[in-house]
């Protein structure tokens, strides 16, 4: 009997700043969904989660991919964790794939391109969440990325070298084909998975107590969940809040999500410029149960991005 094809699902980004963001959400929901497939739906496939990667290719794996939520670094990852992760991916992932006998590696966070996977006889599946940096290189490719020209070339190589690109929306799929020249037969669109039943269920926390803790009890507020990079359009959010309040609506903006120190200063500075600093409520990173309460209590969900591949907030 032939051995099933072994797929190595890379879970290591959960220990980087991608963990508490949209990419981390994508990885956890994907792993959960795969773990819940019936055995017949995975016939001929064996999925193993990569949870740790060393510089020489030493690694730790798990077959219980659905319950893995990250290691020690997932609690408070730093930007340096991103760089170390990316360097290890480039130079060591092929050795880990070789050690576990993987036929293919699924790279869910594409921000590093592993080298030498061909030496391990291993194919590469890469998820593309969006091509915002390629569309707006001056805002996203800095000196560390080689600038706009080199950065765009790296992006092109990243996806054109993949055996299969998983695009999370029709818009992203079309960008991969038209902007990067990846053959259409190597790109498949698979929408982001969401556990709708979980989000639809009543919160387990006390609603009033939770809102009171965030300073939102009895307040009208709109909710934004995410980061503050250029595409998220912080000026647009603050200008909209200022316009609503100028129209006589006592409205607040609840901002959920972890922000680095420099980003906090930029967001608060924009709020001051628009005269709405007192109406900005930064609640920080919240649990999923807290997030359920925040969504249910909001007057609206605010998402005025300049560009999104999907917009998983």
Strand partners, 7: 47, 104
User: Mean pLDDT, to the nearest integer, of 222-240?
Assistant: 96
User: Mean pLDDT, to the nearest integer, of 28-51?
Assistant: 90
User: Mean pLDDT, to the nearest integer, of 140-153?
Assistant: 83
Q: Is 45 within 8 Å of 137 (Cβ atoms)?
A: no
Cα separation values, 116 from 61, 92, 95, 110, 228, Å: 20, 9, 9, 16, 35
User: Mean pLDDT, to the nearest integer, of 117-128?
Assistant: 92
Smallest Cα–Cα separation from 10: which of 58, 55, 57, 47? 47
pLDDT over 70 (residue 231): yes
C-alpha torsion 71→106→148→233, nearest 10: -60
Smallest Cα–Cα separation from 61: which of 24, 20, 21, 93? 93
Q: Rounded to an integer, what distance in angstroms lies between the CA atom of residue 170 and that of residue 190?
A: 9
Helix, strand, or coil (residue 126): strand
pLDDT over 80 (residue 88): yes
pLDDT number for residue 274: 97
Q: Give me the chain's average pLDDT, please.
A: 92
Residues in the chain: 313
pLDDT number for residue 17: 85
Give residue 188's pLDDT band: very low, low, confident or very high (50, 70, 90).
very high
pLDDT over 60 (residue 75): no
pLDDT over 70 (residue 76): no
pLDDT number for residue 93: 96
Give residue 31's pLDDT band: very low, low, confident or very high (50, 70, 90).
very high
């Amino acid at each position: 009997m032939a051995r099933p094809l072994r797929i190595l699902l890379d879970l290591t980004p959960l220990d980087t700043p991608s963990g508490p963001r949209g990419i981390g959400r994508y990885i956890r929901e994907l792993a959960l969904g795969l773990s819940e497939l019936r055995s017949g739906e995975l016939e001929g496939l064996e999925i193993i989660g990569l949870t740790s990667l060393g510089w020489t290719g030493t690694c730790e794996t798990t077959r219980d991919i659905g319950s893995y939520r990250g290691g020690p670094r997932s609690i408070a990852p730093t930007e340096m964790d991103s760089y170390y992760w990316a360097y290890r991916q480039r130079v060591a992932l092929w050795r880990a794939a070789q050690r576990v006998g993987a036929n293919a590696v699924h790279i869910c966070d594409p921000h590093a391109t592993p080298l030498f996977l061909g030496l391990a006889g291993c194919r590469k599946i890469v998820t593309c969440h969006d091509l915002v940096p390629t569309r707006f290189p001056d805002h996203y490719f800095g000196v560390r990325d080689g600038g706009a020209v080199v950065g765009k070339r790296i992006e092109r190589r990243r996806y054109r070298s993949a055996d299969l690109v998983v695009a999370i929306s029709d818009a992203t799929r079309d960008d991969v084909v038209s902007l990067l020249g990846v053959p259409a037969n190597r790109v498949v669109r698979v929408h982001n998975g969401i556990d709708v039943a979980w989000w639809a269920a009543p919160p387990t926390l006390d609603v009033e107590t939770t809102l009171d803790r965030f300073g939102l009890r009895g307040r009208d507020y709109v909710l934004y969940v995410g980061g503050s990079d250029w595409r998220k359009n912080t000026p647009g959010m603050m200008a909209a809040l200022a316009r609503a309040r100028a129209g006589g609506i006592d409205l607040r903006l609840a901002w959920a999500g972890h922000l680095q120190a420099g980003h906090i200063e930029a967001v608060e500075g924009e709020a001051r410029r628009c005269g709405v600093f007192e109406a900005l409520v930064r609640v920080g990173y919240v649990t999923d149960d807290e997030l359920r309460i925040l969504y249910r209590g909001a007057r609206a969900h605010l998402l005025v991005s300049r560009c999104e591949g999907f917009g998983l907030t």
